[in-house]
């Protein structure tokens, strides 16, 4: 039996064990255990389902080969050969599918995500572009029936966005949005440009997995400075008569988070803490990636803010993702949240890279 078969058989045993655990009467009285075991079952099920299809296919293939080798009638032998060819192709496809399913999973993939969108180079035009990216991601969340909440929004006086922080909650939100991080570039003629000259502006997107309170330890008394003040709108004018805006400084790292969108100080503090935990976790993950040569080689996995990831070209009605050299026409459709073709390509490219890395490491072992 191959190493792959050994791993698949072990996953099947784990799956059967979780099923048996869920069937125990005492577990039915424990909601936390039901949730934990249910998540584990959902994680293992796609692998076990594909593995069982592979076993069935191999059983059929063995029978077809016997028939092919034993058949003396030419026409029947040809039919058996065709059946063997079909089943061998099915076996190969299932093996490749299972290799992908067995790739190490990012534990954050099933969770929620925090997006930070900031205007970059280009002044007012960059702020307008950042506002369009915000609307694009909100539309994408709606398309997937995810819940999106704008946690913080700093607008400019021209309906632009200086900075926006958005929480997107839903199954698999992080797994599909995690490659959106980096510098997004727009090329177009601004409405204020009288000569018709094309300008290039940028906005940065940061993608952070939402972090449970227990994942990041923060000593509020020792590690944090929390300041409260009145909320302000564009131009600095007060928009609230109470001290509800919260600014949290994480003293060990110097990270600062300010949230003012809620009228409740407690709600603003809770949101600011969620963003702070996500940023601290992201910094930890980046340190780990820098020590990981495989992750450092990846074309699309880093999400660094300096990376130019995508260009939105208005004159040519085209969006280009530079990491996978993919261009898509119908720019308005993309900006209306139709991102799946781009995201699917990024995901499959990442999977192919990681399979290649595993094959290389296996060859060198």
Is 56 strand, coil or helix? Answer: helix
Q: Residue 152 corresponds to which tokens in the numbers above? A: 């913080």
Q: Residue 73 corresponds to which tokens in the numbers above? A: 């009638």
Query: According to the model, what pLDDT value does residue 174 have?
Result: 92
Helices (H) and strands (E) in the chain, counts: 10, 11
Contacts with 34 (C-beta within 8 Å, 6 or more apart), sequence order: 22, 27, 28
Angle at CA of residue 72, ends 68 and 75, nearest 5°: 75
Buried/exposed 17-29: b ≥16 CB within 10 Å, e otherwise: ebeeeeeeeeeee
Helix axes 31-70, 3-22, angle to 10 degrees: 140
- From the options 3.30.70.1660, 1.10.1060.10, 3.40.50.720, 1.10.3720.10, give the CATH code of 113-351: 3.30.70.1660
pLDDT in tens, the chain (365 residues): 578 888 899 889 999 999 999 989 888 888 888 888 888 888 889 889 999 999 999 999 999 999 888 877 788 888 989 999 999 999 999 988 888 888 777 777 878 999 999 999 989 999 999 999 999 999 999 999 999 999 989 999 888 999 999 999 998 899 999 999 999 999 999 876 767 889 999 999 999 998 887 778 888 889 999 988 766 655 444 444 456 789 999 999 999 999 887 778 888 898 999 999 999 888 887 787 676 654 445 555 555 556 789 999 999 999 999 999 999 999 999 999 999 999 999 998 988 888 877 666 554 43
Query: According to the model, what pLDDT value does residue 233 have?
Result: 55
Query: According to the model, what pLDDT value does residue 187 have?
Result: 95
> Please, where in the chain does CATH 1.20.58 lie?
3-101
Q: Residue 182 corresponds to which tokens in the numbers above? A: 């980096």
- As a CATH number, domain 3-101 is 1.20.58
Query: According to the model, what pLDDT value does residue 303 have?
Result: 52
Query: According to the model, what pLDDT value does residue 319 have?
Result: 97
> Please, where in the chain does CATH 3.30.70.1660 lie?
113-351
Return the half-sphere exposure (C-beta side, CA atoms, 13 A cut-off) of residue 274. Answer: 21
Place of tokens 């390509």: 345
Backbone dihedral region for residue 145 (phi beyond 0: left; psi -120 to 50: alpha; all else: beta): left
């Amino acid at each position: 039996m191959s190493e792959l078969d050994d791993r698949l058989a072990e996953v099947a045993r784990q799956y059967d064990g979780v099923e048996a655990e869920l069937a125990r009467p005492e577990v039915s009285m424990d909601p936390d255990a039901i949730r934990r075991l249910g998540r584990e079952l959902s994680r293992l099920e796609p692998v076990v389902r594909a593995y069982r299809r592979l076993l069935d296919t191999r059983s059929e293939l063995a029978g077809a080969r016997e028939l092919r080798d034993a058949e003396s009638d030419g026409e029947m032998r040809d039919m058996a050969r065709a059946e063997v060819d079909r089943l061998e192709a099915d076996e190969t496809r299932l093996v490749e599918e299972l290799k992908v399913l067995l790739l190490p999973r990012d534990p954050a993939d099933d969770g929620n995500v925090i997006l930070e969108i900031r205007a970059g180079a280009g002044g007012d035009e960059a702020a307008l572009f950042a506002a369009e990216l915000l609307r694009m991601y909100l539309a994408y969340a709606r398309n997937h029936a995810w819940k999106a909440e704008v946690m913080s929004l700093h607008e400019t006086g021209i309906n632009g966005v200086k900075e926006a922080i958005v929480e997107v909650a839903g199954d698999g939100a992080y797994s599909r949005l995690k490659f959106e991080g980096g510098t997004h570039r727009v090329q177009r003629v601004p409405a204020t440009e009288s000569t018709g000259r094309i300008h290039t502006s940028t906005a940065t997107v940061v993608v952070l997995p939402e972090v449970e309170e227990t994942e990041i330890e923060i000593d509020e008394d020792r590690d944090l400075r929390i300041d409260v003040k009145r909320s302000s709108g564009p131009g600095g004018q007060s928009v609230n008569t109470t001290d509800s805006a919260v600014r949290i400084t994480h003293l060990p790292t110097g990270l600062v988070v300010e949230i003012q969108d809620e009228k409740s100080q407690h709600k603003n503090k809770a949101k600011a803490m969620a963003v702070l935990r996500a940023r601290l976790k992201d910094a930890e993950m980046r340190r780990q990636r820098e020590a990981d040569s495989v992750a450092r080689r990846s074309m699309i996995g880093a999400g660094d803010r300096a990376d130019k990831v995508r260009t939105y070209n208005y004159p040519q009605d085209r969006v280009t993702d530079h990491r996978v050299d993919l261009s898509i026409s119908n720019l308005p459709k993309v900006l209306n949240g139709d991102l799946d073709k781009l995201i699917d390509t990024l995901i499959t490219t990442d999977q192919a890279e990681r399979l290649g890395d595993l094959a290389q490491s296996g060859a060198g072992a």
